[in-house]
Amino acid sequence: MRRRRKAECLFVIYHNVAFVSAADRSDLRGVREADFERQVAFLCRHYEPLTMTRLVAALDGHDRLPARCFYLTFDDGSSEHLAVAERLRAAKLEGAFFVNTKRLSDRRLLTVDKQRLLQYATPDFTEFLQAFCHAAKRLCPGDARRFELTAQNIKEAETFYAEFPFYSPPERFYRKIRDRWLTEAQVGALVDELFGQFFDNEAQLLRTYFMDWDGLRVLQSLGMHVGGHSHAHPLLSKLDAASQYADLQEHVEQLRKQLGVRLTAFAYPYGTGNEDTINILKQEGIRLAFIEDGLPQAGGLRDPYRLSRLGPEKLDILMEAADTGVAAHLGETVSQA
C-alpha cells in the first residue's frame, strides 16, 4: 500500500520521565531527562503545539488542526510530572496528564504500580518472573504448562507480542500470562502477594513516586490539562460493561469533587478499551480518548475515541528518520484486544 504524505498529529505518551528506580534498571517506557528535552525541542522545531481547547474546537468544527502538530500526554500520575509541567509551562506548552483516582483516595499503590515496581525496581526481573509463574501455576493448576518458564513458552510470547519490540521476550511472556490467561482479580491477588515478598515500604514508595491531590492542583495551576485514566487502572476490555461503568463513574465523580474537573479526555489504561468503554465515555460527556498503538494520528480526528499515541521510543525512530531524510516506517501495530 502506498502512503500519501498527509496531515499528521503526534500524540506522544510518556509514563515516567527521568525515573530513577530503586535499582539500576529503569522503566523501559520511561525516558531520560536529556532525551525528553531533545524530543520536545525536535517537536517544537517541526510541529505546531496543540492544546485541549484547540482539539475540542477542531472536533466541533470550529477550528482546523495544523498539518503537522503535536500534543504531549503523561499517564499514571508520577510525581516527576510536576517538574515536567513546570518545564512545559516555561516553554508555553500545555500537556495532558491522565491520572487514576483510586491511588489518590485510598492512599495505596494500585496493582499497576506494584507490577511496575516488581518489573523494574527489583534487582532481577527473572527472579520476579519465576515467582510470578510459580504463583500463577498454584492459582490455575489445570493450566500449569502454559505458566512454565520454558524457552518454548518465552519464544511463543515473543511472537505473540511482536508489536512490542522494546519489551524483552521474558517481559512479553509476563504480559501474555497477565493479559491472556488471568482475570483482573487473579492478577491483583498475585501482584499483591508478590509485592509483599519483594517490598515492605509501600507508603514510602507511594510518596516518592506518585502525586497526591495537591500535586494535581498544582498541575492545574500551571495550566496543564487533567484527563481521565480510570479509577483503578484495570484492563477495561477484560471487564463486563457494569464493572467498567462502576470504575469510570467513581473516577468521574472523584475528579469532579476534588478538582472541579469535568472530564473531556480519557486515556485507556494499558492503552486499550472496547465498545462498552466507548459507550460509557460518551455517556459521561467525554469527547476524545487515546489508545496506544505506537503510530502518528493520521486523518484528523475522525475517530475521536481511538486517537493514536506513540511512545518516546517510536518518536526517536521518527526523529532519526528526519535527521537522515529517510521516511520513517513505524510499522503497523495492533492494539491489544
| Residues engaged in binding Zn ion (CB under 5 A) | 75-76, 269
Which grid cell is 235? Answer: 484492563
User: What is the smallest separation between the CB atom of 233 and Zn ion, expressed in angstroms?
Assistant: 6
Which DSSP state fits 78?
B
Considering beta carbons, is residue 76 or 80 the nearer one to Zn ion?
A: 76
Going through the chain in order, the beta strands assigned E by DSSP cover 8-14, 48-49, 68-75, 95-99, 225-228, 265-267, 288-290, 297-298
Distance CA 73, CA 84 (A): 11
- The amino acid occupying position 209 is Y
User: What is the smallest separation between the CB atom of 68 and Zn ion, expressed in angstroms?
Assistant: 27
Considering beta carbons, is residue 15 or 172 the nearer one to Zn ion?
A: 15
User: What is the smallest separation between the CB atom of 276 and Zn ion, expressed in angstroms?
Assistant: 19
End-to-end CA distance of the chain: 24
User: What is the smallest separation between the CB atom of 98 and Zn ion, expressed in angstroms?
Assistant: 7
Considering beta carbons, is residue 153 or 272 the nearer one to Zn ion?
A: 272
DSSP 6-30: --EEEEEEES-BS---SSS---TTS
Considering beta carbons, is residue 147 or 266 the nearer one to Zn ion?
A: 266
Considering beta carbons, is residue 65 or 219 the nearer one to Zn ion?
A: 219
User: What is the smallest separation between the CB atom of 77 and Zn ion, expressed in angstroms?
Assistant: 9
User: What is the smallest separation between the CB atom of 76 and Zn ion, expressed in angstroms?
Assistant: 4
Considering beta carbons, is residue 16 or 39 the nearer one to Zn ion?
A: 16
Look-up of cell digits 475517530 = 303
What angle in degrees, to the nearest 10, is found between the helix axes of 184-198 and 125-139?
A: 130
Which grid cell is 324? Answer: 537522515
Q: Which residue is nearest to Zn ion (CB)?
A: 75
Which grid cell is 223? Answer: 495550566
